């Protein structure tokens, strides 16, 4: 139950982490038979009327080039246009024509690459790959990857325009004349439909706001546009301004290693072009596109339906640009009449008697269309009115001839639209804006399609159903992706890409990967320690006839029972003590059994008093406190906050029903957690990690930042850093954390926290670590510069003093991407159809020249495995690809509470867990402070947090309470 609010999972998780990777063809190696003897590469979709000659940049025929590995990975980054990001100036491509030329490019990269010129700013850039990829470890496997190769014309110049619209007549009330993006879209669509020659839709791609990308020049004169607004017409002045010429030869230069900084504006421009077709036919949510067609099996109940779609992103890889397409499913509100939606959402909804508060909570902020008149306009529900039958409003004559008059809403709809209102007792919806009221009866309103429903708000059953739908088997996911790519509303179809001279391969990328071998582990047995090899197919091991390497004696512990007698206490305690003893952990009977109930968890003050009472009852000498609960309760956050920051108790929460079942694997898992939290050693690697054969001390550091949930505009972000304090075991960690500026991804005090961790290492080992490996979790590609030039520099500045200057390697770990690895067929994968644990891919789908690779270190049981994308930005140790991959893969077998390899390297995994734990502290404090404020005052309350409220208790500074 520990950290049940969130977790990556050891072998699956929501995205079913697990799988294998592969290694591609050697860089610069040619394969004349790769695409047969045709002039058009096989499986490439050639747009109608556009026959091409495929040539590489070097002049080699496209058919003779083999791909090379690389992918930029996505992560958490945003999609903001950075127009001046490229270091080269914007010049005309020299084509001398607005029409696209016909030469498409495909990429060939061969070693050695010319060294990149240093950035003009003098800042450091990510290092280059030191070799052609790994070769020494593992067996080869053939894989398919959901990357679809893109070809483009390197002589093409895309034109980036900014559009704007202003009312022709300023507001009479002197208010703001700012026009919303939705109105700009209406104006843009109107002029594009009226002037097809000047504004050819198929030659442009639109971001939905103020950015248009065009393959031809657009008129830049200001134009008056008349737009119908209900029964009136509103005039706008439409303006088009050329912002930048995006020359695709800059992208070619970057892919060939001649430009050190990615031309991000060009990449975003190509991405916009590839989104244009699905945007016209599907509902867009972020990077995803979803079909509103659903069947009965997709209904989640309560007016919510699960809609399937795909996520897409453009990546730069060693085979050139690729489109990464992945399966996705999201819950949406049904596009049904408002009254039908309320009947499904609210059990017992009755039009004769309604709960205003519940109805307004369900409807406020949703978008609706109206049926009483013909209009395509969409309205946002601002709130509810009183009963329709009693509503009266003032009707003004637009021409100003007749004086304003009071009119009943019922009479207005009868006389104006010949509509008789049936449910006169129901409130109307207020659809007004800009301070003006616009009331419409509910029965004439229909929910607009494509309104996402928050997954966190789903009840238990629909949440489980949605989760099951989001975890298709690998072959099901692969088939869905291939169907989506080839569909008429898919990302690789439509006219727009053709007009921009972009062509795409409709088949997945084939790569050759490698499966790294499992490492030997050191476990305990009757003789003290033994060498043990995990299962070579799934990487798992069990503790039958084995024990932990170093068991921690548990002499002073107690049970605080919140389960209200649902726990079969004596039976559970006996089984737990017996299982701990067989694992080599001496566990004496508990000091006492304190009874409580789940209601206490809802009252922070009562909980605090109870925990202090228990600690005093144990004479302030308690190693660990067991807390059985009947069900998962939000009071868990408060319990952890109080125990770990105020009282100083290590706790272990568990669910009473699982305790009563007493299964051996569950009890063993509890024992591993307890032993780890108390400073024991469950298992470690038998052999030293490659590259560390000397007597130097090595420290592994993990760092992550946890941000508030979407919609939260004020809560701080949490920066967490953990580090190992034992070598060569490298499996015991200590932690430090800070609350920092809202949504700041940069770890503001990284150097200070790392210096503190190094001092702790010295305190425990009497020596400073000579080598430091940092794993940074959760940053996107466009934040690499920040990590390198700010965080890394802060770390070096903080720790390098008095002649101490350890060597440092910095590796980014990314889980939030959509690259998936599939066995070529079901029989070539592991049981369940996923790739084998230890699969690594470091060619073809990786960055053109960067030092990155995809590693599926875990065994995926649910859905399709999600590999972790590792990107080495800095490396003083000069690790080869083989060495770095093996270090990370082997470390994944050292996660303390798991008898299987995990999907993310443990330093980053622990840092993520710690950051989330501190988030739980903050949420508990926030809830407690809000409750206290509401009891003491009726005035508005603004939470101002004090970092002291979240400071780690001194007794927990050296233990892994966060595991």
Helix (H), strand (E) at residue 823: strand 821-823
Count of C-beta atoms within a 10 Å radius of residue 927: 17
Burial of 459 (0-12, 13-18, 19+ CB in 10 A): exposed
798-803 CB contacts, 8 Å cutoff, 24+ apart: 798/750, 798/751, 798/752, 798/754, 798/755, 799/751, 799/754, 799/755, 799/758
Same domain, 426 and 537: no
For strands 367-370 and 379-380, give the pairing: antiparallel
- What is the total residue count of the chain? 963
Nearest in space to 79 (alpha carbons), one of 268, 229, 209, 217: 268
What pLDDT score was predicted for residue 95?
Answer: 38
Question: Which pLDDT value is given to residue 396?
Answer: 82
CA distance 415 to 616: 77
CA distance 774 to 762: 18
Of the three residues 432, 448, 464, the one that is the final residue of a domain is: 448
Residue 806: count of CB within 10 angstroms of its CB: 18
Nearest Cα neighbor of 892 from 5, 197, 111, 19 is 19
β-strands 320-333, 367-370: how paired? Answer: unpaired
CA 166 to chain centre: 37
Q: How many CB atoms lie within 10 A of CB 942?
A: 6
What angle is formed at CA 848 by the lines to CA 846 and CA 849, rounded to 5 degrees?
A: 105
Element spanning 301, H or E: strand 299-301
Residue 869 phi/psi, 5-degree rounding, is: -95, 110
Q: What is the pTM of this model?
A: 0.86
Q: Of 672, 884, 882, 701, which Cα lies nearest the Cα of 775? A: 701
pLDDT at position 115: 41
Torsion of CA 522, 524, 525, 531, to 10 degrees: 0
Look at strands 232-247 and 157-167 and give their pairing: antiparallel
CA distances from 287 to 144, 268, 327, 586, 865 (A): 22, 12, 12, 53, 20
Claim to verify: residue 532 and residue 661 sit in the same structural domain: yes
Q: Is 566 contained in some domain?
A: yes
Confidence (pLDDT) at 745: 95
Q: Point out the domain boundary residue: 427, 448, 469.
A: 448
Q: Walk along the chain (963 residues) in steps of 10 and give the mean pLDDT of each run.
A: 42 38 36 36 37 33 33 39 40 38 33 41 85 88 97 96 91 68 92 92 95 96 88 89 96 92 93 96 95 94 96 96 97 97 93 91 97 92 95 82 89 95 96 89 97 93 96 96 96 93 96 96 89 94 93 98 94 97 97 97 97 97 97 96 98 97 96 98 95 91 95 92 97 97 96 97 97 96 95 97 96 97 89 95 96 97 95 97 97 97 98 98 93 58 75 95 95
User: Does residue 579 belong to any structural domain of this protein?
Assistant: yes
Q: Dihedral sign, CA of 827, 831, 832, 835? A: negative
Instruction: Count how many Cα atoms sit within 13 Å of the Cα of residue 377 in the half-sphere of its side chain.
Output: 15
The whole domain housing 629 covers 524-671+918-956
Q: Does 443 share its domain with 534? A: no
Query: What pLDDT was estimated at residue 121?
Result: 52
Q: What is the rounded CA–CA span in Å between residue 394 and residue 397? A: 10
Q: Which CATH number is 360's domain given?
A: 2.170.260.10
The CATH number of the domain where 579 resides is what? 3.40.50.2300
Query: Are 530 and 625 found together in one domain?
Result: yes
Residue 699, token pair as written in the block: 């420290």
For residue 38, what pLDDT is reported?
36
Q: Is residue 395 part of a domain?
A: yes
Kindly state whether residues 532 and 620 are assigned to the same domain.
yes
Task: Say if CB 269 and CB 160 are below 8 A apart.
Answer: yes
In the beta sheet, which residues pair with residue 885? Answer: none
Q: Same domain, yes or no, for 529 and 643?
A: yes
Q: In this structure, is residue 66 part of a structural domain?
A: no
Give the integer Cα–Cα distance in Å for 433 and 438: 8
* Three-state secondary structure call for residue 888: helix
Contacts of 142 (CB under 8 A, 6+ apart): 22, 510, 511, 512, 513, 823, 824, 828
581 φ/ψ sector (left φ>0, alpha ψ -120 to 50, else beta)? alpha
Q: What is the DSSP string of 65-97?
A: BPP--------S------TT-SSS-----S---
> Residue 276: in which H helix or E strand, if any?
helix 264-281
Q: Which of 403, 429, 448 is the last residue of a domain?
A: 448
At 205, list the tokens: 């791609």
Looking at the structure, tell me whether residues 422 and 550 fall in a common domain. Answer: no
Predicted pLDDT at 903:
98
Helix (H) or strand (E) holding 651: strand 651-655
| Run of H or E including 187 | helix 181-194
Asked whether residue 737 is assigned to any structural domain, the reply reads no
Residue 613 lies in a domain: yes
Q: Report the pLDDT value the prediction gives residue 68, as an integer from 0 to 100.
A: 33
Within the chain, how many helices (H) and strands (E) appear?
A: 19, 41
Residue 385 forms part of a structural domain: yes
| Closest of 195, 203, 201 to residue 100, by C-alpha | 203
d(Cα 774, Cα 874) in Å, to the nearest integer? 10
825 domain-assigned: no
Q: What radius of gyration do the chain's Cα atoms show? A: 31
Q: Total structural domains in the chain?
A: 2
- Looking at residue 524, the DSSP 8-state letter turns out to be B
Q: Compute the distance between CA of residue 215 and CA of residue 98 in angstroms, rounded to an integer.
A: 7
pLDDT at 98: 40
541 and 667 in a single domain? The answer is yes
């Amino acid at each position: 139950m520990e950290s049940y609010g969130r977790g990556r999972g050891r072998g699956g998780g929501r995205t079913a982490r697990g799988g294998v990777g592969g290694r591609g063809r050697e860089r610069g190696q040619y394969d004349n038979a790769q695409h047969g003897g045709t002039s058009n590469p096989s499986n490439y979709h050639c747009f109608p009327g556009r026959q091409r000659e495929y040539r590489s940049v070097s002049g080699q025929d496209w058919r003779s080039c083999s791909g090379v590995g690389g992918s930029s990975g996505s992560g958490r980054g945003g999609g903001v246009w950075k127009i001046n990001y490229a270091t080269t100036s914007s010049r005309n491509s020299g084509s001398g024509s607005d029409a696209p030329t016909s030469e498409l490019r495909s990429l060939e990269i061969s070693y050695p690459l010319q060294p990149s010129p240093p950035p003009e700013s003098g800042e450091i850039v990510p290092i280059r790959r030191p070799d052609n990829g790994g070769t020494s470890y593992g067996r080869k496997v053939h894989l398919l990857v959901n990357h679809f190769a893109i070809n483009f014309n390197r002589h093409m110049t895309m034109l980036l325009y900014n559009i704007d619209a202003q009312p022709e007549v300023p507001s009479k009330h002197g208010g703001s004349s700012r026009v919303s993006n939705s109105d700009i879209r209406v104006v843009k669509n109107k002029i594009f439909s009226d002037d097809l020659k000047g504004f050819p839709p198929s030659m442009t791609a639109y971001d939905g706001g103020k950015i248009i990308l065009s393959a031809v020049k657009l008129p830049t004169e200001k134009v008056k546009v008349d737009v119908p607004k209900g029964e009136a017409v509103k005039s706008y002045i439409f303006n088009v301004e050329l912002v930048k010429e995006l020359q695709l030869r800059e992208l070619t230069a970057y892919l060939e290693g001649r430009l050190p900084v990615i031309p991000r504006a060009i990449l975003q421009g190509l991405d916009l072009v590839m989104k244009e077709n699905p945007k016209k036919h599907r509902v867009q949510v972020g990077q995803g596109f979803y079909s509103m067609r659903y069947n009965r099996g997709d209904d989640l109940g309560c007016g919510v339906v699960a809609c399937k779609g795909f996520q897409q992103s453009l990546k730069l890889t060693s085979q050139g640009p690729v489109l990464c397409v992945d399966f996705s499913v999201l819950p949406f509100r049904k596009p049904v009449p408002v009254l039908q939606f309320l009947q499904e959402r609210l059990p017992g909804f009755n039009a004769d008697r309604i709960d205003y508060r519940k109805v307004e909570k369900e409807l406020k902020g949703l978008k609706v269309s109206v049926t009483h008149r013909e209009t395509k306009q969409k309205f946002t529900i601002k709130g509810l009115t009183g009963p329709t039958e009693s509503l009266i409003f003032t009707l003004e004559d637009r021409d100003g001839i007749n004086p304003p008059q009071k009119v009943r809403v019922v009479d207005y709809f009868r006389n104006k639209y010949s509509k008789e209102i049936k449910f006169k007792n129901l409130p109307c919806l207020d659809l007004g804006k800009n301070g003006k009221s616009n009331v419409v009866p509910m029965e004439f309103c229909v929910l607009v399609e494509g309104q996402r429903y928050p997954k966190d708000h789903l009840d238990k059953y629909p949440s489980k159903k949605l989760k099951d739908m989001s975890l298709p088997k690998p072959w099901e996911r692969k088939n869905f992706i291939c169907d989506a790519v080839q569909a008429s509303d898919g990302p690789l179809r439509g006219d727009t890409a053709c007009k921009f001279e972009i062509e795409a391969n409709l088949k997945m990328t084939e790569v050759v990967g490698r499966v790294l071998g499992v490492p030997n582990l050191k476990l305990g047995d009757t003789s003290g320690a033994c060498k043990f090899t995990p299962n070579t197919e799934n990487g798992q091991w069990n503790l039958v006839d084995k024990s932990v390497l170093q068991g921690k004696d548990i002499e002073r512990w107690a049970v605080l029972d919140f389960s209200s007698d649902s726990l079969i206490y004596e039976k559970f305690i006996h089984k737990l003590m017996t299982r701990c003893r067989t694992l080599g952990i001496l566990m004496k009977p508990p000091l006492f059994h304190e009874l409580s109930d789940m209601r206490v968890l809802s009252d922070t003050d009562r909980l605090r008093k109870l925990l202090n009472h228990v600690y005093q009852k144990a004479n302030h000498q308690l190693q660990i406190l067991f807390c059985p609960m009947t069900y998962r309760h939000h009071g868990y956050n408060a319990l952890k906050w109080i125990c770990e920051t105020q009282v100083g108790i290590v706790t272990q929460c568990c669910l009473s029903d699982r305790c009563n079942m007493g299964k051996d694997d569950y009890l063993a898992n509890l024992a591993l957690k307890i032993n780890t939290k108390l400073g024991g050693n469950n298992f470690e690697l038998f052999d030293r990690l490659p590259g560390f054969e000397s007597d130097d001390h090595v420290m592994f550091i993990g760092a992550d930042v946890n941000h508030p949930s979407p919609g939260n505009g004020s809560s701080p972000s949490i920066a967490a850093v953990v580090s190992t304090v034992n070598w060569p075991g490298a499996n015991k960690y200590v932690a430090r954390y800070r609350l920092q500026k809202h949504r700041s991804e940069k770890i503001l005090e990284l150097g200070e926290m790392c210096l503190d961790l190094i001092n702790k290492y010295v305190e425990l080992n009497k020596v400073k670590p000579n080598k430091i490996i940092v794993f940074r979790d959760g940053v996107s590609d466009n934040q690499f510069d920040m990590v390198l030039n700010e965080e890394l520099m802060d770390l070096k500045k903080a720790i390098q003093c008095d002649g101490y200057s350890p060597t440092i390697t910095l590796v980014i770990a990314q889980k939030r991407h959509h690259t998936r690895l599939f066995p070529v067929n079901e029989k070539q994968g592991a049981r369940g159809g996923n790739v084998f644990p230890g699969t690594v891919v470091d060619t073809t789908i990786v960055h053109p020249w960067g030092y990155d690779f995809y590693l599926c270190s875990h065994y995926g049981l649910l859905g399709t495995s999600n590999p972790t994308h590792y990107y080495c930005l800095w490396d003083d140790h000069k690790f080869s690809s083989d060495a770095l991959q093996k270090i990370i893969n082997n470390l994944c077998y050292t996660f303390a509470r798991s008898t299987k390899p995990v999907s993310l390297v443990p330093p980053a995994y622990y840092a993520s867990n710690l950051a989330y734990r501190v988030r739980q502290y903050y949420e508990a404090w926030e809830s407690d402070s809000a409750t206290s404020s509401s009891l003491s005052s009726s005035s508005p309350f603004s939470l101002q947090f004090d970092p002291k409220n979240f400071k780690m208790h001194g007794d927990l500074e050296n233990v892994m309470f966060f595991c």
